Amino acid sequence: MSTGESGKNRTILGSIVGAVVVLAAGYFGVDAATGGDDSNDSHASSASSDISASGDSCAVDTLPDQADEVIDAILDGGPFDHGDHDGKHFGNYASALPSENSSYYREYTVDTPGINHRGARRIVVGGGSDTDPDVWYYTDDHYESFCSIPDAED
């Protein structure tokens, strides 16, 4: 094998190993870039999809049943399945949602059947009170994209 082929093989192997590390980190809720747990710091996304500009919305009846259960729990003030995380600060560091002050957004876990960790699905609310938020958003890809939930309180 020539030196060029050996270097190319190392590059391919490095790419494969890197991809496996990122996938494993995502599965276990670890931010591969920092090595930290990203389940509460809400900066995992580098994509930006300003909801106010795009107008993406999703009616409650288009969301998983588990999302409807979380919406009801928010409106009732709990309890929540992931109390250590639910209702906590969502930083919007990737500016995927409209810009607001740093304490505006809060996140809640939407369980995914068949997995034994928090998964990627969340409801993020903003403003208002704990039981009457001003805005509602849903993500099923761990903050990469959002849709607003216009009928969450209906």
Q: Active-site positions? A: 107, 142
Residue 128: Cβ-neighbour burial (10 angstroms; 0-12, 13-18, 19+): middle
Q: CA 24 to CA 1: how far, in whole Å? A: 32
Place of tokens 């996938």: 23
Q: Please tell me whether residue 65 adopts helix, strand or coil conformation.
A: helix
| Residue that has been written with the tokens 């009170």 in this structure | 129
Distance CA 132, CA 134 (A): 7
Q: Are strands 147-148 and 135-139 parallel, antiparallel or unpaired?
A: antiparallel
Determine contact, residues 31/142, Cβ cutoff 8 Å: no
